[in-house]
Chain A
Amino acid sequence: MNRYARLVFLSVSALFMLVPLYVLVVNAFKPQQDILANPFGLPVEGLTLDFLAQALDNPQFNIFRGYAVTLLFVVAVNVLSVVLAGPASFVIARSPRRRYRLLMLAFLAGTFIPSQVLVIPVVYVLKTLGLMGTIQGFVLFETVLTLPFSIFLYAGYISTIPSTLDQAAAMDGAGRLRTFWQIVFPLMRPVVATMIILNTFSVWNDFVNPQIILGPGSGLYTVTTGVYAAVSQYSTDYTVVFPTLLLAIAPLLIFFVFMQRHIISGLTAGATKG
Chain B
Amino acid sequence: MRSTRAGVATAIMVLPATVLYAVMLVVPVGLALYLSLTDWDGFSASPSLVGAANYADLLVDPDLRRSAIVTLLVAAVGTAGLNLLGLGFALLVNGASRANSFFRMVLFYPHVLSALVVGFLWSAILGTTGAVNSFITTRGGEVLPFLSDPTWATITMIAVLVWAGFGVNVVLYLAGLQAVPAALVEAAEIDGATRWQVFRNVTLPALGPSVTVNIVLSLVTLLKTYDLVVSLTAGGPAGQTQTVAYLILWNSFHDARLGFGSAQSVVLMIVTAALAFVVTRLRRRGEMAVHQ
A and B touch in the complex (CB under 8 A): yes
Which A residues have a C-beta under 8 Å from some C-beta of B? 6-7, 9-10, 13-14, 17-18, 20-21, 23-24, 27, 35-40, 84-85, 87-88, 90-92, 100, 103, 106-107, 109-118, 120-122, 124-125, 129, 140-141, 143-145, 147-148, 151, 175-177, 180, 201, 204-208, 212, 223-224, 227-228, 231-232, 235-236, 238, 241-242, 245, 248-249, 252-253, 256-257, 260-261, 264, 267-272
Which of B27, B127, B220 has a CB less than 8 Å from the CB of A125? B27
A201 touches B224 (CB 8 A): no
| Other contacts beyond A10-B92, A17-B107, A121-B32: 9, CB < 8 A | A37-B134, A39-B131, A112-B276, A147-B17, A147-B20, A175-B9, A249-B114, A249-B117, A260-B101
Given contacts A6-B92, A10-B93, A207-B230, contact A91 B14 (CB under 8 A): yes
Given contacts A114-B224, A121-B262, A176-B9, contact A9 B124 (CB under 8 A): no
Complex A-B: 23 CB contacts under 8 Å = A10-B99, A17-B106, A17-B107, A38-B135, A39-B132, A40-B135, A112-B276, A115-B224, A116-B245, A117-B32, A117-B265, A117-B266, A120-B262, A125-B23, A145-B25, A177-B9, A235-B124, A245-B124, A252-B113, A253-B112, A253-B113, A260-B104, A271-B176
Instruction: Pick the 3 closest A-B CB pairs, nearest first.
Output: A205-B114, A39-B131, A114-B224
B254 at the A interface (CB under 8 A): no
Closest residue on chain A to residue B33 by CB atoms: A121
Closest residue on chain B to residue A202 by CB atoms: B114
How many Å lie between the Cα of A40 and that of B111 in the bound state? 23
Residues of B within 8 A of A253 (CB): 109, 112-113
What is the distance, in angstroms, from B126's C-beta to the closest C-beta of chain A? 10
B273 touches A140 (CB 8 A): no
How many Å lie between the Cα of A180 and that of B6 in the bound state? 13
Q: Digitize B220-250: 1 where CB-to-A-CB distance is under 8 Å, 0 elsewhere.
A: 1001101100110000000000000100110
Q: Which interface class (under 10, 10 to 19, 20 to 34, 35 or more) fits B?
A: 35 or more
B157 at the A interface (CB under 8 A): no
What is the distance, in angstroms, from B127's C-beta to the closest C-beta of chain A? 7
Which of B116, B127, B272, B273 has a CB less than 8 Å from the CB of A227? B116
Given contacts A88-B13, A109-B273, contact A236 B31 (CB under 8 A): no
Which of A18, A38, A249 has a CB less than 8 Å from the CB of B106? A18
B25 touches A113 (CB 8 A): yes
B110 touches A17 (CB 8 A): yes
Which of A85, A264, A271 has a CB less than 8 Å from the CB of B108? A264
B4 at the A interface (CB under 8 A): no
How many Å lie between the Cα of A228 and that of B227 in the bound state? 10
